[in-house]
Structure 1
Amino acid sequence: MSKFVAALPMYDWPEARGEVDAQWVLLRDAIRQRGIDAPEAVVRSNRELPAVPGGILDSAGKLIAPDSATLPPDELDFHQLWLSPALLFGQTCWGPMELGLARHVQVIAQPNYDAFEGGQGELYSSALVMAADGGPPIASPRDGKAVIPIDLLRGRRFTFNNPDSMSGLIGLTRDLEAMGESLDIFASRSESGGHRSSIVAVAEGRADIAAIDCQSWALAQRFEPAARGVKIVGWTARRKGLPYITARITPAAVVAAMREAVAAVEGGASEQPLVQRVG
């Protein structure tokens, strides 16, 4: 059994788990072909993470996360996963990275978003969705610049997936700031807990507007009935998509080999070793 763990949690909807598993099999085999003991399957719960008695420490010996054995076993704490010293291959968001996670992990590569409207290469954007009114949706702009309908958004109830989300909150905040505006244009702001929950909240009338990253929007169109009750009214600017990461202690040679493996499997995936604010 491998001493490492792997996870692809960011788009791991229940209906898409077979596809996520298949994605990992391709990545796993490409990584193993380069002499690395990649785990057989991805983890989906805290109980599958190796225990770290005393908790996880940073390079200075400071406690940054508890022992996974102390967490609810049937849940998956993303920060616990990301900070695990056993993490060989994972996936995160640039929001948490910019808020401190980048100090504790290494970036392997950026995935390719060409398959999704609103994506281009390693860049992705978020669809701004409101209740459907019979009008046509706004198409993603070819130049990747933000399309923010300020007058339509002003005074509305905004919901977002979580406070450290680039796609659900931070990206839109920056686009508004670039226009001389802020989140204060909204009558209220609420946290939904996930992109899917945000779509449902808008469709059910509990919120008026949400920003949904383009890959989550594609999943919603396939699997979430509430998506039929909303439409796209704008787009955030394109930014770096969700990076693949590995533990801080993963040797450089292993990181380089995994970059080769990702490029072999995903083609357009690219290395992004530094934190970069885009837009």
Structure 2
Amino acid sequence: MTAAAVPGTASLPMYDLPEVRWATDALWSAVAARLSAAGVAAAPVLDHSSSLPDLWTDPALLLSQTCGNPYVRTYRDRLRLVATPRYAAAGCDGPRYCSLLVVRADGPGESLADFRDAVCAVNEWGSLSGWVALAAALPEPRFFRAALITGAHADSMAAVAAGEADIAAIDCVTYALLQRHRPAATAGLRVIGRTAPAPGLPFVTRRDAAEATVEALRSALSGALADPALAEARAALLIEGVEVLGEADYDAIPAQPASTPPPVSAPSRRSATAPAP
């Protein structure tokens, strides 16, 4: 086998909830078949186990998905934009999305301004949806009294519902997926606002991928996402299609905040959910 025939690796980690993994695998199977027909060697199965940095820096990477903030801040010289999915979730507008500001269903507060000196739950500081977009919406840098770092959007939601934190910004696609496939996760919450729209989590390939490979990826994704045989999988994943955005679209992502609220601790919680976008 020649080096050119070695299958490129693939991963779709950003919304890889256990409840929809069958659909993610079905989507990739359809994309891989179309790539093979176009002469592009693709791994037959997705990598569901490697760390995000390992996935995004793999020299054999063919297709993955990343959050816009790490793409812009860290991986721009390693990754190339392929296409941005359109999701059918409240808060999405074409290939753009936002975060939903969630609080306890039975708690006080009707807008972000009511949560001055509150404790916010944050999945991780590098998350566009969980912190960067929220920080950009704050009236002042030291608005919150403290922050609870949870590691995942689902855990931020659980922390708010349990009273361990007062408010969290949740990727609207994650929220919609959990609302559909894990309704108990959203039952004790209510939405009081949204962050500004931002370009969605893009599909990417390695930076040095050939132009023909990028075009084959775009064609395979578009074809699979229009295939009637994948209607059930698309509905489970909430994906409607893809659009091609440029580097300038992602340059509009807010800057990483210079300061963060002091951390607080809470009982540990490990969630069976996807990485925090």
Give yes or no for the alignment of 1:211 onto 2:169. yes
Q: State how far apart, in whole Å, the 2-side matches of 1:169 and 1:134 are.
A: 22
Aligned to 1:70: none
Q: CA, structure 1 residues 2+39, in 2 after alignment: closer, same or farther (shift >3 Å)?
A: farther
Conserved? CA contact 1:8–1:20, under 8 Å: yes
Conserved? CA contact 2:69–2:253, under 8 Å: no
For residues 92-151 of structure 1, what are the alpha-carbon distances to aligned partners after superposition, in whole Å with 9 as ceiling and x for unaligned? Answer: 0011012121111111110012x111111100111111111289xx9xxxxxxxxxx232
Q: State how far apart, in whole Å, the 2-side matches of 1:31 and 1:169 are.
A: 36
Aligned to 1:103: 77
TM-superposed CA distance for 1:266, in Å, is 3.3
Aligned to 1:241: 200
Aligned to 2:93: 120
How many residue pairs match? The answer is 233
Conserved? CA contact 2:92–2:172, under 8 Å: yes
Report the residue type matching 1:261 in the other structure.
A
TM-superposed CA distance for 1:33, in Å, is 2.8
Q: State how far apart, in whole Å, the 1-side matches of 2:127 and 2:44 are.
A: 29
CA RMSD of aligned residues (A): 2.1
Displaced runs of 4 or more, over 4 A: none
1:276 aligned to which of 247, 251, 258: 251
Aligned to 2:147: 189
For residues 235-259 of structure 1, what are the alpha-carbon distances to aligned partners after superposition, in whole Å with 9 as ceiling and x for unaligned? Answer: 1111100000111232121012111
Conserved? CA contact 1:85–1:248, under 8 Å: no
Conserved? CA contact 1:111–1:266, under 8 Å: no
Q: Which runs of 5+ in 2 are unaligned?
A: 227-240, 255-277
Aligned to 1:145: none
TM-superposed CA distance for 1:27, in Å, is 2.1
Q: State how far apart, in whole Å, the 2-side matches of 1:3 and 1:12 are.
A: 22
> Residues 58-207 of structure 1 correspond to what in structure 2 (within 5 A)?
76-113=50-87, 115-133=88-106, 149-176=111-138, 180-182=139-141, 184-207=142-165
Report the residue type matching 2:64 in the other structure.
G
TM-superposed CA distance for 1:36, in Å, is 1.0
Q: CA, structure 1 residues 247+26, in 2 after alignment: closer, same or farther (shift >3 Å)?
A: same
> Residues 218-237 of structure 1 correspond to what in structure 2 (within 5 A)?
218-221=176-179, 222-223=181-182, 225-237=184-196
Q: Tell me the percent identity.
A: 35
Report the residue type matching 2:158 in the other structure.
V
Conserved? CA contact 2:121–2:168, under 8 Å: yes
Q: Which moved more, 1:115-124 or 1:263-272?
A: 263-272
Q: State how far apart, in whole Å, the 2-side matches of 1:151 and 1:163 are.
A: 21
Aligned to 2:224: 265
Q: Which runs of 5+ in 1 are unaligned?
A: 46-75, 139-148
Conserved? CA contact 1:154–1:186, under 8 Å: yes
Q: Which moved more, 1:167-176 or 1:23-32?
A: 23-32
Q: Relative contact order (C-alpha < 8 Å, sep 6+): which is higher? A: 2
Conserved? CA contact 2:112–2:192, under 8 Å: no
